[in-house]
Amino acid sequence: MALFDFPNSPTLNQQVTMPDGTVRQWDGTKWKAGGATATGPYLQLSGGAMSGAMTVVGNAAAALQPVPLQQLSSTLATTAPALNNVGRSYIHNGLMTIQQRGQGPWTTSLAYTVDRWVLQFLNGSMSVAVGTLTDANRAQIGDEAATFYLSNTFTGGAAAGDYSFIVQFIEDVRRLAGKTVTVSFYASCASGTPRVGVQIYQSFGSGGSPSPPVSVPGTSVTVSTTWQRYSVTVAVPSVSGKTFGTNSGTAFTGLRFWFSAGSNSAPDSGSVGVQSGTVALWGIQLEIGSVATPLEKLDPRNDLANCQRFYTPGAILASFYSLAGAAVTSFVSFPVSMRATPTMTQGAGNTISNINSFGLSASTFGVWINGTGAATSTVTAYVNFIASADL
């Protein structure tokens, strides 16, 4: 067993030779490779200079290889750019690119807009739609990956109980309970300097007698006509001692973006007040920790799969010969398992021929048609469907 002590107060660019013959050099914050044998990222201790004894067991060269940051459960801003830390953000569709319901506009309260985002308002009006970013917008944002944004044109109601916000429901309230989280996002407005409020609240599900929702006071920021990034850090309450609803999987953490609020909602909204205008949002991220790290960009197929867990449109096609009265069925798997057994609705443009008692049934993994043959003949069914397991 060999021991090696790094200098306690190293000077800039000071070098030391390790027992295996490799060289480390102090760059002012951490020891890094000073020779040709060591590669890869290095662990930076929060206290500044690395000091104390390092124990080397067995092969010294192998033991002194740099620690891969992939093995560290860290969300520090210094590590995120190198690794992209996929999975940091708890938000789905923060880039607004998944648009299974179209591009709007949506004007009805409680309507889902782009995937996973719901608009809610009382009195006044909201019109939410998808917009396309320009090269000038991307230059302000500083990211050429920016393509679409979510735009809200709103008129706030003036009564004390009136409000206007969009919200995403994050599955399983326990995932963020008792943690410090940071919400970051890019925003701009059409004119003026409106305020946007950021708030987190907890819902303990449905069924039985769950505890009432817990709202964390909101924080607001002032946005301008230039795209900028904003961040808010929130201490999420513990759920210890709370009673959960008897309907499994219905508890969630809500993230709201407030645009207008009467006096009753001043604490929740961060006192944005009664406002009207047009505000655009892009690049929304929620992560554990007190630092806003670089924006996570999931592979498009992974982002889509996250959204399909909650909402999936599709179609069933069946055509075969059937006897009169014989059971008729056809099955299609969902692209991903859904959060819960979905609510099924039929879309437009369906063709159903020679089937009695037609119906759709579903589980978390797929959908099937049920019926009986009306006559000894060819059975045809082309059915568009929408499966929704949204919270």
* Range 108-116 contact pairs with CB under 8 angstroms and sequence separation of 24 or more: 112/311, 112/390, 113/150, 113/166, 114/148, 114/150, 115/307, 115/310, 115/311, 116/91, 116/92, 116/168, 116/169, 116/306, 116/307, 116/310
| 167 and 255 fall within a common domain | yes
Q: 3-class DSSP state for residue 191?
A: coil
| 282 and 354 fall within a common domain | no
The pLDDT of residue 2 is: 53
Task: Determine, yes or no, domain membership for 92.
Answer: no
Question: Model's pTM, two decimal places?
Answer: 0.77
Spell 304-329 as b/e; 16+ CB within 10 A means b: bbbbbbbbbebebebeeebeeeeebe
Sign of the alpha-carbon dihedral angle for 340, 116, 309, 371:
positive
Distance between CA atoms of residues 47 and 136, nearest Å? 41
Task: Determine, yes or no, domain membership for 336.
Answer: yes
CATH number of the domain within which 383 lies: 2.60.40.2080
| 172 and 295 fall within a common domain | yes
Distance between CA atoms of residues 121 and 106, nearest Å? 12
Distance between CA atoms of residues 205 and 249, nearest Å? 7
Task: Determine, yes or no, domain membership for 79.
Answer: no
What is each CA distance from 334 to 221, 279, 311, 339, in whole angstroms? 40, 35, 10, 12
Structure tokens at 221: 């920021």
Last residue of a domain, one of 307, 338, 372: 307
Q: What is the CA radius of gyration of the chain?
A: 27
As for how many domains the chain has, the answer is 3
The pLDDT of residue 328 is: 84
CA nearest 285: which of 324, 233, 336?
233
Task: Determine, yes or no, domain membership for 201.
Answer: yes
Distance between CA atoms of residues 23 and 13, nearest Å? 11
Last residue of a domain, one of 51, 67, 83: 67
The enclosing H or E element of 141 equals helix 135-141
The pLDDT of residue 12 is: 80
Task: Determine, yes or no, domain membership for 112.
Answer: no
Report mean pLDDT in 10-residue bins for the chain, 391 residues. 69 78 78 54 40 39 43 45 69 98 97 98 98 98 97 98 98 98 98 98 97 98 98 98 96 98 97 98 97 94 97 90 85 95 90 83 92 86 93 92
Structure tokens at 214: 């817990």
Structure tokens at 180: 């410090």
| 198 and 238 fall within a common domain | yes
Task: Determine, yes or no, domain membership for 84.
Answer: no
CATH number of the domain within which 193 lies: 2.60.120.260
| 227 and 216 fall within a common domain | yes
| 215 and 364 fall within a common domain | no
Structure tokens at 278: 């047009």
Distance between CA atoms of residues 292 and 230, nearest Å? 9
| 187 and 203 fall within a common domain | yes
| 171 and 212 fall within a common domain | yes
Task: Determine, yes or no, domain membership for 100.
Answer: no
Domain that residue 358 falls in: 310-388
Spell 205-229 as b/e; 16+ CB within 10 A means b: beeeebbeebbbebbbbebeeebeb
| 276 and 295 fall within a common domain | yes
The pLDDT of residue 62 is: 39
Last residue of a domain, one of 307, 339, 363: 307
| 319 and 333 fall within a common domain | yes
| 272 and 335 fall within a common domain | no
The pLDDT of residue 59 is: 42
The pLDDT of residue 85 is: 57
| 285 and 316 fall within a common domain | no
